[in-house]
């Protein structure tokens, strides 16, 4: 079955860094773009970054510029999100999602994605 499994979340101190992983299986990884989203309590789900497993191109939403870096290891069917200098405002559930690259329209709109993971909780302490 199609699976997207996030990992790497947890408790981190403000100013620190973390790397989230998204392990994909059950579909043709190289045909998709993989995006990272996050949702904090009381807020809408927002896009952070997306990478095309087809051609390696990367894209960042305004909220994802500066402290975030997205990367992929196609051999492992895994996408990463590096977050530096975290602060308590980064506390949220982080999700990865897959969109068929050949037909994608919107990279930072949840409705544009075909598959979703269950999310991983990131909590930043002050």
Query: Mean pLDDT score of the chain, rounded to an integer?
Result: 97
Confidence of residue 96 (pLDDT cuts 50, 70, 90): very high
Give the separation between CA 33 and CA 88, rounded to whole angstroms.
29
Of all residues in the chain, the percent with pLDDT exceeding 90 is 98
The four Cα atoms 75, 20, 121, 14 give a dihedral, to 10 degrees, of 180
Q: Which residues contact 25 (CB under 8 A, 6 or more apart)?
A: 2, 3, 5, 77
Q: Which two structure tokens, joined as six digits, stand for 43? A: 């807020």
For residue 80, what are the β-bridge partners? 21, 71
42-87 per-position pLDDT tens digit:
999 999 999 999 999 999 999 888 999 999 999 999 999 999 999 9
């Amino acid at each position: 079955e199609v699976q997207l499994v996030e990992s790497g979340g947890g408790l981190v101190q403000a100013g620190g860094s973390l790397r989230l992983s998204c392990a994909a299986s059950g579909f043709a990884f190289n045909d998709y773009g993989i995006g990272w989203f996050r949702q904090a309590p009381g807020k809408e789900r927002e896009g952070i970054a997306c990478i095309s497993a087809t051609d390696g191109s990367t894209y960042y939403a305004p909220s994802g510029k500066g402290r975030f870096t997205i990367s992929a290891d196609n051999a492992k069917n895994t996408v990463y999100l590096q977050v530096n200098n975290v602060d308590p405002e980064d506390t949220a559930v982080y999700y990865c999602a897959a969109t068929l690259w050949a037909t994608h329209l919107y990279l930072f709109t949840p409705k544009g994605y075909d598959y979703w993971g269950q999310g991983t909780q990131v909590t930043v302490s002050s």
